[in-house]
Amino acid sequence: MIHDTAHTHDVYSPQRRKRKRRLTVETALWLIVLALALSLRLFQLDRAPLSIPEAREATLAWRAASGQGLPQHDDYSPLLFTLNTATFTLRGGATDSLARWWPALAGALLALTPALLREHIGRVGALVTGLYLAISPACLVASRQVDGAIFAALGGMICLGGLYRTVSATHASDNRWLYLSALGLALAVTGSSLLYGIMLPLGIAVGGGMYLLVERAGDEQDKDLADAFHPRNLYPQIRSHWLRFAIVASVLALAFSTMLGVNPGGLGATGGLLADWLAGFQARESTMPPLTLLLIYEPVALLFGLGGIGVVLWRQHRFGIVLGMWVVFSSFLLALAPGRAPLAMLGIVLPLSLLVGITCEQLIQTFLRESHWVNEGIHAPVVVILWIHCGLMLARYTVSGTLSDLALVLLTVALQIMLAAMFAITMDVGAAVRALLMGTGFVALGVTFAAGWGVAHVRPADPREPLLHAPTDLGMHALVETLRERSWRETGLPNTLPIAYQANLDSPLAWYLRALDSGFSQARLIDDSRERADTPGERPSTDRLFSTIVTAERDPSALAEILNLPYDTLGDTDDSTTPIVGQDFVLHRRWDPKIVDWTWAWPPPDRLYPQFRDLVKWWMFRETDTPPPVEETLVLWVLEDAVWLR
């Protein structure tokens, strides 16, 4: 049984301090969780090019670090801007990995936050939750993007854990958890608009949980926590600490948002996060429903998290009921927001991960108390083998498309149910259920890890991953590499080739061609304010010769107009024109999930079974018969004779 009460040991006793200094098994396991989280997030951090929102956030910080001015608008993450600006300034340069380093670190720390709640979800449950947050695809993707969403998730978990630690503290003078909670709130407030999608449902759930604790506490395990939350005990704590909490949180939020006063506009950006969150309720292009995303990426959360709601209701686990309400309110908010980003599902993943920990804690305790090793030792491996066989048959079905393979899948599922019933009848119902859950959970954990590895490392720029929002194609990396090779041949250095390009100032192309660190020092943005001299030979000293041009324009005559040259200046091989060749590079691809949409109908139409095969193929491998269509390309133009650009 899990106790929702704090330890009554004196945290200040010498014996307890001595025990804390030792490296325990639990501490070693937490270090392993941290190492796993860091390795998954930092490995090939620059594998995918920056998307448009990422390039925008990174470019704002680079401009501030290089002395080009502070942001003049409020549509960015103040905390991420502060951290990246400081990093770029100290490093003296900017790269994709540096821009993503802080979110990756925040994602790794997120995996440690369940330790703050181990008194309420159990020590084993906290470790399971930390392990799950380390490999969760949603957390992994959020940690590998230049986005403040992961800071909102980290801050929300720290704030929740700190508050529960504060009200459960043995000594009223122990304010360290209160300060930690204030730090978490400051991180969330300045990190991302996702703050409101996390904290609003959490606040409602905690309020409902306080009511349940005070009015309906009947179990022995809840009495201490109910007394701590009772108004007669809680109000003096709030009265004595709320001002200190508010001051610390406000000072930290002010420092994070304004970069210690250097960027006063960060306050406006912090306030703008609320408007950004409210904009998600507008009718725009919607993403997949949260339940569908959970089924695709988070089967462990779907199985043990949603199933855990039933467990906590049955066990009357008060903190678990709070988490269940958090899930319900978050799901309701997401259902009302058709314009939400895919990473908004973090508002559901966080409470579900804690419910996964509670469920696993209960399962392990029951296993140790009531298990028959022979029963589970035989049944659980059989469950794993059957699920693996089912997956292999599904994979073969995506290749062959024959109904016999699909029939074998259904037969395997039926055999799984029959074996569970047989073990329940002949041996023990509880043992059969535990073996089925353990075997299925092991396979679901592998599927979750594979989904996270695939979206983060194998297909980080594939639009067929619904967890990615408008990713930049790997063609951007190919373009940059081509420019470097040409620079080596023309100038003898990798980044000194004179390049003229046309792009928005905060686009991915402008980020990669910036004149700093790994960028191109001789790159020049083509603007509309230049003027062409009457005589080509009479050029001011500020003009330069360019033979390499990058633009989205595919027509040479239109390119001549962009360069402010006569329309017939550029051509193929005519002696009267300047020879020019071009190479396309894909910048963005677009994929519509409706391509693999499948709806049951009777009688089945001719395309019913092929559509189902396409759906299974996409679900397992994120592959389709046709590649995603190209939405935007860039053209690298190379002129035989350089042209003057002012």
Final residue of a domain: which of 346, 365, 384?
Answer: 365
* 581 against 346, higher pLDDT: 346
In this prediction, residue 236 has a pLDDT band, given cuts at 50, 70 and 90, of low
Could you tell me if 117 and 247 lie in one domain?
yes
Could you tell me if 322 and 410 lie in one domain?
no
Asked if 471 contacts 462 with a C-beta cutoff of 8 angstroms, the reply is: yes
| Mean pLDDT on 289-294 | 86
Domain-located, residue 89: yes
Could you tell me if 422 and 514 lie in one domain?
no
Asked if 212 contacts 229 with a C-beta cutoff of 8 angstroms, the reply is: no
Asked if 77 contacts 148 with a C-beta cutoff of 8 angstroms, the reply is: yes
Asked if 286 contacts 339 with a C-beta cutoff of 8 angstroms, the reply is: yes
* pLDDT tens string 61-95: 999 998 888 988 878 999 999 999 999 999 888 89
The yes-or-no verdict on residue 607 having pLDDT over 60 is no
In this prediction, residue 229 has a pLDDT band, given cuts at 50, 70 and 90, of low
Query: What tokens appear for 361 in the block?
Result: 């804690």
Domain-located, residue 342: yes
**CA–CA separation, 309 vs 329, rounded Å?**
14
| Percent above pLDDT 70 for the chain | 80
Final residue of a domain: which of 365, 391, 416?
Answer: 365
What 3-state class would DSSP assign to 238?
helix
Could you tell me if 31 and 164 lie in one domain?
yes
The reported pLDDT for the residue numbered 591 is 86
CB burial of residue 256 (10 Å; 0-12, 13-18, 19+): buried
Domain-located, residue 113: yes
* pLDDT tens string 186-205: 999 999 999 999 999 998 98
Please report, as a single letter, which amino acid is at residue 144: R
Domain-located, residue 52: no
* 364 against 527, higher pLDDT: 364
In this prediction, residue 12 has a pLDDT band, given cuts at 50, 70 and 90, of very low
The yes-or-no verdict on residue 4 having pLDDT over 50 is no
**CA–CA separation, 92 vs 114, rounded Å?**
36
Could you tell me if 486 and 445 lie in one domain?
no
Number of structural domains (the chain) is: 3
DSSP one-letter code for 458? I
**CA–CA separation, 475 vs 377, rounded Å?**
50
Domain-located, residue 596: no
Pairing of the two strands 570-571 and 523-525: unpaired
The yes-or-no verdict on residue 297 having pLDDT over 80 is yes
The yes-or-no verdict on residue 343 having pLDDT over 70 is yes
The reported pLDDT for the residue numbered 258 is 94
The reported pLDDT for the residue numbered 565 is 66
The reported pLDDT for the residue numbered 163 is 86
Written as one string, the DSSP assignment of 107-135 is HHHHTTGGGGGHHHH-HHHHHHHHHHHHH
Domain-located, residue 605: no
In this prediction, residue 304 has a pLDDT band, given cuts at 50, 70 and 90, of very high
Could you tell me if 360 and 377 lie in one domain?
no
Of these ranges, 38-47, 417-426, 540-549, 622-631, the one predicted with the greatest mean pLDDT is: 38-47
Domain-located, residue 468: no
Strand order in the sheet with 570-571: 523-525, 499-501, 544-551, 630-645, 578-589, 570-571
* pLDDT tens string 473-498: 999 999 999 999 988 888 888 888 88
Could you tell me if 143 and 221 lie in one domain?
yes
| Mean pLDDT on 548-555 | 85
The yes-or-no verdict on residue 1 having pLDDT over 50 is no
The yes-or-no verdict on residue 569 having pLDDT over 60 is no
The yes-or-no verdict on residue 230 having pLDDT over 90 is no
Q: Which domain holds residue 401?
A: 372-458
Query: What tokens appear for 29 in the block?
Result: 């396991």
In this prediction, residue 101 has a pLDDT band, given cuts at 50, 70 and 90, of very high
In this prediction, residue 165 has a pLDDT band, given cuts at 50, 70 and 90, of confident
Could you tell me if 421 and 521 lie in one domain?
no
Phi, psi of 326 (to 5 degrees): -60, -45
The reported pLDDT for the residue numbered 529 is 39
Domain-located, residue 61: no
What 3-state class would DSSP assign to 29?
helix
Average pLDDT of the chain to the nearest whole number: 83
Distance of CA 99 to the CA centre of its chain: 15
For residue 561, the cross-strand partners are none
C-alpha distances (whole Å) from 369 to each of 204, 373, 374 are: 36, 11, 14
The reported pLDDT for the residue numbered 611 is 79
The yes-or-no verdict on residue 462 having pLDDT over 90 is yes
* pLDDT tens string 359-395: 999 999 888 888 667 778 888 999 999 999 999 999 9
The yes-or-no verdict on residue 564 having pLDDT over 50 is yes
**CA–CA separation, 40 vs 34, rounded Å?**
10
* 220 against 330, higher pLDDT: 330
Q: Poorest-confidence range of 153-157, 352-356, 548-552?
A: 548-552
* Rounded (10°) CA dihedral 142, 146, 147, 153: 40
Pairing of the two strands 630-645 and 544-551: antiparallel
| Mean pLDDT on 577-585 | 80
Please report, as a single letter, which amino acid is at residue 255: A
The reported pLDDT for the residue numbered 7 is 43
Final residue of a domain: which of 334, 365, 396?
Answer: 365
Could you tell me if 409 and 540 lie in one domain?
no
The reported pLDDT for the residue numbered 545 is 66
Tell me which residue of 396, 443, 395 sits closest to 416, measured CA to CA.
443
Phi, psi of 373 (to 5 degrees): -55, -30
Asked if 557 contacts 572 with a C-beta cutoff of 8 angstroms, the reply is: no
Query: What tokens appear for 291 in the block?
Result: 């339940």
The yes-or-no verdict on residue 530 having pLDDT over 60 is no
In this prediction, residue 288 has a pLDDT band, given cuts at 50, 70 and 90, of confident
* 187 against 210, higher pLDDT: 187
CA geometry: angle at 249 spanning 248 and 253, to 5°? 120
The reported pLDDT for the residue numbered 340 is 80
The reported pLDDT for the residue numbered 353 is 97
The percent of the chain in helix, strand and coil, each rounded to the nearest 5, is 65, 5, 30
The reported pLDDT for the residue numbered 528 is 44
Query: What tokens appear for 575 in the block?
Result: 């002696």
Could you tell me if 130 and 260 lie in one domain?
yes
| Mean pLDDT on 418-443 | 90
| Mean pLDDT on 16-34 | 79
| Mean pLDDT on 2-27 | 55
Could you tell me if 312 and 384 lie in one domain?
no
The reported pLDDT for the residue numbered 597 is 67
| Mean pLDDT on 40-69 | 93
Could you tell me if 106 and 37 lie in one domain?
yes
